[in-house]
Amino acid sequence: MTAAPVEVKSCCAAAYSSAAARFLLGDSFHPGGSQLTSKLIRQLGAESGSTVVDVASGLGTSARQLARELGCHVVGVELSPPSVAGAAEAAAEAGLSGRVRFLVGDAEALPLADCQHGRRLCECALCTFPDKEAAACELARVLRPGARLVLADIVAEPDRLPHELRSLAAWVACVADARPVTELSGLLERAGFVIESVGRHDGALARLLDRVDARLRTAALVGPDVLGDGVDEGRELVHAAREALSEGNLGYASILARRA
């Protein structure tokens, strides 16, 4: 995969703001859906009235869930302007505009001040960031000392992935540049975090792959209007990802860390 970082970012932003992504993934663009998000956000220890930053907030599903379940204020940062507009509209419809706001911004250069926030959530997104060191440093920069971060992400053994999972499409699908969980922990430690716990959620990834495959089969039956010419490539990616998951070379993990 030789695409430039700006191309990767553009492709990811366009893909995840598309109708095709919503058709395949539903409202939650990550394994485990709202149930796993609920588990993760409670690890943050956020209190009512506190502020949480949701990095790569997409359509704002997790941000709204944070506000509803914990009564906190949420700042969502997302690269795609259409996704930011859609997330703001959904928050308004849910009556959450006073507690949830969204900004257009790059995770590698967050539009937020230093040491101003007490909690961070980043779900299934670091794997798509070209400069992961910069993103990890940004996660640390905007947090106060002692603040917590929950990072959930696709994890992989890159050298063991088949060629099908190394393409630009696989990068957009959160696989091609996924890293081992030990490497992610190292990134965070170098950025100034102390790792408190690591969890594995490979079953959630398996269920997501099953759901995506079922919707791809539906799209194949309905016709090209649903996903255009991407059905066959999508099914190849899902098949390769299932194989990698069964071999222990792909998975989903969460890391709870504290800003030193």
Note down the domain range covering 99: 5-259
Q: Which residues contact 95 (CB under 8 A, 6 or more apart)?
A: none
Of 13-22, 44-53, 222-231, the poorest mean pLDDT is in 222-231
Report the pLDDT value the prediction gives residue 220, as an integer from 0 to 100. Answer: 75
Instruction: Tell me what the pLDDT averaged over the chain comes to.
Output: 89
Q: Kindly tell me if the per-residue pLDDT of 224 is higher than 60.
A: no
Does residue 6 surpass a pLDDT of 80?
no
Structure tokens at 124: 């299934």
| Cβ neighbours around 59 below 10 Å, total | 26
The residue to which tokens 């796993």 are assigned: 36
Secondary structure class of 245 (helix, strand, coil): helix
Contact 142, 114 (CB under 8 A): yes
Residues 6+ apart with CB under 8 A from 213: 235, 238, 239
Please choose, from the candidates 165, 55, 150, the residue with its C-alpha nearest in 3D space to the C-alpha of residue 112: 55
Query: In the numeric block, which tokens belong to residue 60?
Result: 């704002």
Q: What confidence category does residue 176 fall into, taking pLDDT thresholds of 50, 70 and 90? A: confident
Distances in Å between the Cα of 51 and the Cα atoms of 62, 70, 93, 116 are 14, 10, 21, 9
Q: What is the pTM of this model?
A: 0.92
Specify the number of domains making up the chain: 1
H helix runs in 77-131, sequence order: 81-93
Count Cβ atoms below 10 Å from residue 8 Cβ, excluding itself. Answer: 19
Across residues 189-218, what is the average pLDDT?
A: 94
pLDDT per residue as tens digits for the range 238-250: 999 999 999 999 9
Note whether 69 and 114 are within 8 A (CB).
no
Give CA–CA dist 185/260, Å, rounded.
14
C-alpha radius of gyration, the chain, whole number: 17
Q: Domain holding 157: CATH number?
A: 3.40.50.150
Residue 46: what pLDDT?
80
| Residues linked to residue 102 through DSSP beta bridges, in sequence order | 76
pLDDT (0 to 100) of residue 64? 96
**Taking the mean position of all CA atoms in its chain, how far away is CA 226?**
24
Identify the pLDDT of residue 144: 92
Give the number of C-alpha atoms closer than 13 A to the C-alpha of residue 237, restricted to the C-beta side: 21
Q: What is the pLDDT of residues 119-169, one digit of tens each?
A: 889 998 899 899 999 999 999 999 999 999 999 999 999 999 998 898 877
* Banded pLDDT at 199 (limits 50, 70, 90): very high
Alpha-carbon gap, residue 20 to 15, rounded angstroms: 8
Give per-residue pLDDT as tens, 19-65. 777 777 777 778 999 999 999 999 988 888 889 999 999 999 999 99
Closest CA to 75 of 260, 11, 91: 91
pLDDT bin (cut points 50, 70, 90) of residue 227 is: low
Q: Where does residue 162 rank: exposed (0-12), middle (13-18), buried (19+ CB within 10 A)?
A: middle
